[in-house]
Structure 1
Amino acid sequence: MINLIGTYECKADAKGRLMLASSLKKQLSPVLQEGFVIKRSVFQSCLELYPMQEWNVMMSKINKLNRFVKKNNDFIRRFTAGVKMVEVDATGRILIPKDLCAFAEIKKEVVLSSAVNIVEIWDKENYEKVIEDSAEDFGDLAEAVMGNIELDE
């Protein structure tokens, strides 16, 4: 399992290509050759970039769902809607498909934000708004999510 660190700013060109920051590319170097899957986020208007090994772990979990349950089929369809395979080219760029750029409202300024084992790809303005909007609730959110977990020292 990969654990990514950092938030990086970059620019998208007219074709939707992004140059990966060198420190992010270095963290991804063990999995660069395997390729990536890019998809719409479930909860936000951003994209999620999965290293192929992480995508395979997720698909293994999803494949255990009973497909004779309608809500499971509906979830699978929505979760995988617009999914594309992408690769990092020789110059360290990834090409974001136009439909996914439109979904995430990506214009020119982009933020690549590590989210443990995946990278979120945001339009910079939308990213800053979400971070600012959630700042007030973060203490309550941290308590609700992490408050009952026994943290080993």
Structure 2
Amino acid sequence: MVNLIGTYEGKADAKGRLVLSSALKKQLLPMLQEGFVLKRSVFQPCLELYPMSEWNLMMAKVNKLNRFVKKNNDFIRRFTAGVKIIELDSSGRLLIPKDLQQFAGISKNVVLSSVVNIIEIWDKENYEKAIDDAVIDFADLAEEVMGNITDENNDGIS
């Protein structure tokens, strides 16, 4: 399983090409040969960059859904809408297709934020707004999501 770390800022040029920071590129180096999948986020106005190995794991889960159940079929269609296979060019740039740029509102200033096994790609203003909006509820969310985790190795220290 991939475990990516960090939040990085960058700039997209007029064609939607984005230079990845050297720190992020170093983390992605083992995955460069396989390529990546870029898609719309389900919950936010941003894009999600999946290393191909992580995308294949996700698709294995999606493929277990019964497509003769309408809700499942609708989910699969929407989840995979606009999905693109992406590779870095010889200059280490990632090309964000126009339709995905428009979805995420990406113009020039971009934030790439690691989310465990994927990278979210945001327009910088949208990212800062989403983070500011989430600050208010984060303590409650953290308690709700992480507060009930039991671990046999838990020593009570966080």
> Aligned partners of 2:136, 2:92: CA distance in 1, in Å?
37
Q: Give the aligned partner of residue 11 of structure 2.
A: 11
> 3-state SS of the aligned residue for 2:5?
coil
> 3-state SS of the aligned residue for 2:32?
helix
Q: Give the aligned partner of residue 117 of structure 1.
A: 117
Q: Give the aligned partner of residue 86 of structure 1.
A: 86
> 3-state SS of the aligned residue for 1:34?
coil
**1:71 lines up with 2:71 in the alignment:** yes
CA shift, 1:5, in A, is 0.3
Amino acid at match of 1:16: G
Structure 1 residue ranges (4+ consecutive) displaced by more than 3 angstroms after TM superposition: none
CA shift, 1:89, in A, is 1.1
> Aligned partners of 1:30, 1:2: CA distance in 2, in Å?
10
> 3-state SS of the aligned residue for 1:44?
coil
Percent of counterpart pairs with the same letter?
76
CA shift, 1:134, in A, is 0.6
Q: How does 1:33-112 map to 2 (within 5 A)?
A: 33-112=33-112
> Aligned partners of 1:68, 1:86: CA distance in 2, in Å?
30
Q: Give the aligned partner of residue 126 of structure 1.
A: 126
- RMSD, aligned α-carbons: 0.7
Point out where structure 1 has 5 or more consecutive residues left out of the alignment: none
> Aligned partners of 2:83, 2:123: CA distance in 1, in Å?
19
Deviations 1:37-88 (A, max 9, x none): 0000000000000000000000000000011100000000000000000101
> 3-state SS of the aligned residue for 2:136?
coil
CA shift, 1:90, in A, is 1.4
Q: Give the aligned partner of residue 30 of structure 1.
A: 30
How high is the TM-score relative to the length of structure 2? 0.95
Amino acid at match of 1:54: E
